[in-house]
Structure 1
């Protein structure tokens, strides 16, 4: 007699393990970046802001009563060019993003990939 495999009993645990694995991967990666940043010196260097960008993430949350709630979050990035010509993109707060403009020249303070601040200098 032909027996049909129990796909729901097989696929659901695999899908659940995949989701848990992805969450754990993100947490471990975040802890690694945080730890690596803590080991780096805090540096302040002359820089120019060469670009700004945003990343918008959309989230959907299901509630117990069958309704879906949608939300978005925005991540802000600024690219700095240092005197050597190297560029680095740092994540900044929304407030900082609004205060900074492309073409601004000054001194950026950072620690690894962690942004600490930017101080404009008067252009000549």
Structure 2
């Protein structure tokens, strides 16, 4: 093997190793930042929901990430990744108490609202 090939293979190895180290350090920093953040419970509204699907070509498995954007009473917004079970239970314009820590979703408890269209056991059309 000539010197160019050795240098080229070494450079590729260093680039791949550098990317792996960068991803690991980024994950650790993000986790530490979330752990250091205060656990907040604020009144908010579900503004929008979206999904992101990756993979799934050929025999590979598809992965879906679920995102929900919440708007707080002061007008600020935050988008959090939520589990599929929570995502399915939320509807746009739901109001309730959002509990989160940094970028980590913890819980959303919907405000209790009386059922619309029901009065004294009768339904309105």
- Structures share a fold, TM > 0.5? yes
- Aligned in 2, Cα 1:92/1:39: closer, same or farther, shift over 3 Å? same
Match status 1:73 vs 2:63: yes
> 1:6, CA displacement in angstroms?
5.0
What TM-score do the two structures reach when normalised by structure 2?
0.79
- Aligned in 2, Cα 1:59/1:29: closer, same or farther, shift over 3 Å? farther
- Aligned in 2, Cα 1:109/1:55: closer, same or farther, shift over 3 Å? same
What TM-score do the two structures reach when normalised by structure 1?
0.80
Query: Any idea what the Cα deviations from partners look like across 1:68-121, whole Å, max 9, x if unmatched?
Result: 952221111110000110000111111111111111110100011111000000
What stretches of structure 1 move > 6 A for 4+ residues in a row?
none
Which of these residues, 8, 14, 19, is aligned with residue 17 of structure 1? 14
Match status 1:112 vs 2:109: no
Q: Structure 2: which 5+ runs fail to align?
A: 115-125
- Aligned in 2, Cα 1:69/1:25: closer, same or farther, shift over 3 Å? farther
Which of these residues, 48, 53, 56, is aligned with residue 56 of structure 1? 53
Q: Structure 1: which 5+ runs fail to align?
A: 61-67
Determine the structure 1 residue equivalent to 2:25: 28
- Aligned in 2, Cα 1:81/1:27: closer, same or farther, shift over 3 Å? same
- Aligned in 2, Cα 1:49/1:39: closer, same or farther, shift over 3 Å? same
Determine the structure 1 residue equivalent to 2:72: 82
* Alignment RMSD (CA, Å): 2.2
